[in-house]
């Protein structure tokens, strides 16, 4: 096994610069040169994981194969690189402190005072090196959440400072900053970047490479000036300007040799280009698509980040079907029987989104009814699938007030119910059915048509399930259970063969779609949206 090399990525000036996209792009470029890589993210907040966080706080919660609830940046890592991340790829301050405090309670610090330095920083370093110790990687990209200057980020930066010293030529720091354009002066300003680098230097860290985010071309003058004032070689300062799609970022970075200068910092000389053929084909196809499809996302939030992976999967599937996609966020809370026509009649397809809690669920049920009776291609995901089941129970089976026990604990018809093993659980965090589970598909079903095989694995994040005692009643009335978990017998997929394409899945297919390997279910959905449109 090699000694892996570490690329640390920090951010300065403001948040939301897209550090995750830059980390994922560097990963893609190194893969395109044949290296083995992985990417990890360290988040300085105290929550153990983002599972309990509101999407307004932190966007979507991404779920790994091994059932860890993680930051949405891990979704970018997987979509850009096709690597599979695990719980070891996302570490929070909460996890670090939990480990240290548990060790203290066991008496493992042998009477010493437990402190941020060295005990917390040592645990951060241990976690940073852990992936390299268990896997065979050439490069480990480590992104630090937050912005340089945040109090909570300090232990992470101190850990990097120490590691950079210990790893010597096997560590490189990339710092991402922002260059604002001041319209009144008509000027681009590099001063915030200089201050941010100085802040890092004050902590003993010298960035090796700078990536400057901006809404416009910076020009060599600005880049050289920043290099000059920040002790960074001129060709190690690159720009990352706003682009029509995040998927162009790896290409723009390659054009400026970002991967080559990072490799040079490790003492690796490369005179070839990264192999981005397939990636470029994807971008080309995306640009060439002219026809458009309109897809509604019926959910609780009209917030991009809350449905990040769903949006990306839809957009990948659209590209591979040579279509542009227009997505419309529809807040299900606003839907009524009398206005549903206004919202959905012009849509080519509808996704009924996942979610938790009662708010907006009746609107999702109204949307499900509209799509089923008008035969609009529909994909229901997790809570969306549950609402399709409830709608069918109420309106086709005549089970009045059928519901999920999550929304109405005393429903007379609990067509969606709590799993037995969930009933005794009192803690909220990390206690759902999480991670990848197997599912066996019925030959001849729409689901089978999508995946082209009988055994699949998709990731889950939920507490409630289709209530099996009702299965026969549903199937006799035309809603079939076409995906079943082989171990537990739980229903994973429902569909109505009489409709053009009306499929609900208990799992989250959006976590497995990548740029080079789009998710089969989203592909089938978009394909059927197009065939229905035509």
Q: Which residue numbers are catalytic?
A: 382, 508, 510
Applying CB under 6 A, which of residues 146, 354, 380, 483 lies at the interface with ligand GLN? 354
Does the protein bind ligand GLN through residue 246 (CB under 6 A)? no
Applying CB under 6 A, which of residues 48, 103, 356, 430 lies at the interface with ligand GLN? 356
Closest distance of CB 265 from ligand GLN, Å: 42
Angle 61-433-135 from CA coordinates, rounded to 5°: 70
By rule CB under 6 A, what count of residues binds ligand GLN? 10
- Distance from C-alpha of 331 to C-alpha of 460, rounded to nearest angstrom: 23
- Distance from C-alpha of 486 to C-alpha of 507, rounded to nearest angstrom: 14
Nearer to ligand GLN, 191 or 359 (CB): 359
Q: Are 72 and 305 in contact (CB under 8 A)?
A: yes
Scanning the structure block, which residue is given the tokens 């260059």?
179
Nearer to ligand GLN, 175 or 462 (CB): 462
Q: Where do the DSSP E strands lie in 106-165?
A: 139-144
- Going 150 to 151 to 152 to 158, the CA torsion angle's sign is positive
Q: Are 407 and 361 in contact (CB under 8 A)?
A: yes
Within 8 A by CB and 6+ apart from 394, the residues are: 365, 400, 401, 402
Does the protein bind ligand GLN through residue 509 (CB under 6 A)? no
Does the protein bind ligand GLN through residue 33 (CB under 6 A)? no
Does the protein bind ligand GLN through residue 80 (CB under 6 A)? no
Does the protein bind ligand GLN through residue 5 (CB under 6 A)? no
Nearer to ligand GLN, 355 or 520 (CB): 355
- Distance from C-alpha of 428 to C-alpha of 49, rounded to nearest angstrom: 12
Applying CB under 6 A, which of residues 200, 236, 382, 494 lies at the interface with ligand GLN? 382
Does the protein bind ligand GLN through residue 383 (CB under 6 A)? yes
Axis crossing angle, helix 73-81 with helix 19-31, rounded to the nearest 10: 20
- Distance from C-alpha of 437 to C-alpha of 508, rounded to nearest angstrom: 11
Closest distance of CB 227 from ligand GLN, Å: 46
Q: Are 239 and 256 in contact (CB under 8 A)?
A: yes
Applying CB under 6 A, which of residues 461, 485, 493, 507 lies at the interface with ligand GLN? 461
CA distances in angstroms from 222 to 9, 193, 194, 364, listed in the order given: 22, 11, 12, 51
Q: With contacts defined by CB under 6 A, name the span among 29-37, 47-55, 180-188, 460-468 that binds ligand GLN.
A: 460-468
Question: 81: left (phi > 0), else alpha (psi -120 to 50), else beta?
Answer: alpha
Question: 517: left (phi > 0), else alpha (psi -120 to 50), else beta?
Answer: beta
Closest distance of CB 376 from ligand GLN, Å: 21
Closest distance of CB 462 from ligand GLN, Å: 3
Scanning the structure block, which residue is given the tokens 């669920």?
361
Nearer to ligand GLN, 28 or 463 (CB): 463
Does the protein bind ligand GLN through residue 462 (CB under 6 A)? yes
Closest distance of CB 114 from ligand GLN, Å: 37
Scanning the structure block, which residue is given the tokens 């640009």?
287
Closest distance of CB 353 from ligand GLN, Å: 8
Nearer to ligand GLN, 11 or 51 (CB): 51
Nearer to ligand GLN, 406 or 492 (CB): 406
Closest distance of CB 366 from ligand GLN, Å: 18
CA distances in angstroms from 460 to 42, 59, 131, 395, 533, listed in the order given: 23, 18, 24, 28, 31
Structural tokens at position 180: 């604002």
- Distance from C-alpha of 128 to C-alpha of 142, rounded to nearest angstrom: 8
Does the protein bind ligand GLN through residue 505 (CB under 6 A)? no
Applying CB under 6 A, which of residues 127, 463, 471, 527 lies at the interface with ligand GLN? 463
Closest distance of CB 311 from ligand GLN, Å: 16
- Looking at the DSSP assignment, which residues form a beta bridge with residue 142? 8, 40
Polymer length of the chain:
534
Closest distance of CB 92 from ligand GLN, Å: 21
Scanning the structure block, which residue is given the tokens 């009746």?
362
- Distance from C-alpha of 201 to C-alpha of 209, rounded to nearest angstrom: 13
* Cβ neighbours, 10 Å, residue 323: 22
Site for ligand GLN in 394-433 (CB under 6 A): 406
- Looking at the DSSP assignment, which residues form a beta bridge with residue 349? 295
Q: With contacts defined by CB under 6 A, name the span among 133-141, 157-165, 188-196, 458-466 that binds ligand GLN.
A: 458-466
Closest distance of CB 412 from ligand GLN, Å: 20
Please write down the long-range contacts of 117-120, taking CB distance under 8 Å and 24 or more positions apart: 117/155, 117/158, 120/96, 120/155
The two most distant CA atoms of the chain are separated, in Å, by: 74
Nearer to ligand GLN, 167 or 383 (CB): 383
Nearer to ligand GLN, 120 or 379 (CB): 379
Q: With contacts defined by CB under 6 A, name the span among 64-72, 371-379, 461-469, 511-519 that binds ligand GLN.
A: 461-469
Does the protein bind ligand GLN through residue 300 (CB under 6 A)? no
Nearer to ligand GLN, 297 or 382 (CB): 382
Structural tokens at position 377: 């291609």
Applying CB under 6 A, which of residues 35, 156, 464, 511 lies at the interface with ligand GLN? 464
Does the protein bind ligand GLN through residue 52 (CB under 6 A)? no
Nearer to ligand GLN, 214 or 404 (CB): 404
Does the protein bind ligand GLN through residue 355 (CB under 6 A)? yes
Residues near ligand GLN (CB under 6 A) are 354-356, 382-383, 406, 461-464
């Amino acid at each position: 096994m090699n000694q892996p090399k570490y690329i640390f990525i920090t951010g300065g000036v403001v948040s939301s610069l897209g550090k995750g996209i830059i980390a994922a792009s560097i990963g893609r470029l190194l893969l395109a040169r044949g290296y083995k890589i992985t990417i990890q993210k360290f988040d300085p907040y105290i929550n153990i994981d983002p599972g309990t966080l509101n999407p307004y706080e932190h966007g979507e919660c991404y779920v790994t194969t091994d059932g860890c609830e993680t930051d949405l940046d891990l979704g970018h890592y997987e979509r850009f690189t096709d690597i599979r991340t695990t719980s070891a790829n996302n570490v929070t301050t909460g996890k670090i402190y939990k480990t240290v405090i548990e060790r203290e309670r066991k008496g493992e610090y042998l009477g010493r005072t437990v402190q941020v330095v060295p005990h917390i920083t040592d645990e951060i370093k241990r976690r940073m090196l852990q992936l390299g110790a268990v896997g065979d990687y050439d490069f480990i990209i480590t992104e630090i959440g937050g912005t340089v200057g945040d109090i909570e980020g300090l232990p992470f930066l101190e850990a990097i400072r120490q590691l950079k010293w210990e790893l010597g030529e096997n560590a490189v720091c990339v710092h991402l900053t922002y260059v604002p354009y001041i319209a009144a002066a008509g000027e681009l300003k590099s001063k915030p970047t200089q201050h941010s680098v100085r802040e890092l230097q004050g902590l003993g860290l010298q960035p090796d490479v700078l990536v400057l985010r901006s809404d416009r071309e910076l020009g060599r003058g600005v880049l050289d000036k920043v290099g000059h004032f920040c002790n960074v070689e001129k060709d190690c300062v690159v720009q990352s300007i706003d682009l029509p799609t995040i998927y162009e970022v790896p290409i723009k970075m390659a054009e400026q040799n970002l991967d080559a200068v990072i490799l040079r910092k490790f003492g690796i000389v490369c005179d070839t280009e990264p192999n981005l053929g397939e990636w470029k084909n994807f971008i080309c196809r995306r640009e060439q698509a002219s026809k458009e499809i309109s897809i509604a996302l019926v959910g609780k939030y009209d917030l991009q980040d809350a449905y990040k992976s769903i949006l990306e999967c839809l957009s990948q599937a659209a590209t591979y079907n040579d279509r542009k996609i227009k997505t419309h966020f529809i807040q299900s809370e606003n839907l009524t029987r009398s206005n549903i026509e206004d919202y959905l009649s012009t849509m080519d397809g509808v996704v009924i989104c996942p979610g938790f809690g009662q708010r907006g669920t009746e609107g999702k049920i109204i949307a499900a009814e509209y799509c089923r009776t008008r035969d609009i291609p529909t994909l229901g995901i997790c809570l969306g699938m549950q609402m399709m089941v409830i709608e069918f129970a109420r309106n086709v089976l005549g089970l009045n007030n059928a519901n999920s026990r999550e929304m109405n604990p005393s429903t007379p018809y609990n067509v969606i119910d709590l799993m037995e093993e969930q009933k005794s659980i009192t803690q909220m965090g990390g206690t759902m059915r999480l991670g990848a589970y197997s599912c066996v598909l019925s030959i001849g079903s729409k689901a089978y048509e999508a995946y082209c095989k009988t055994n699949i694995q998709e990731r889950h994040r939920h507490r409630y399930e289709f209530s099996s005692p009702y299965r026969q009643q549903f199937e006799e009335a035309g809603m079939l259970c076409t995906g079943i978990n082989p171990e537990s017998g739980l229903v994973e997929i429902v569909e109505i063969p009489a409709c053009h394409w009306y499929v609900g899945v208990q799992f989250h297919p959006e976590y497995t779609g990548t740029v080079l390997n789009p998710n089969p279910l989203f592909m089938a959905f978009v394909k059927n949206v197009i065939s229905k449109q035509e």
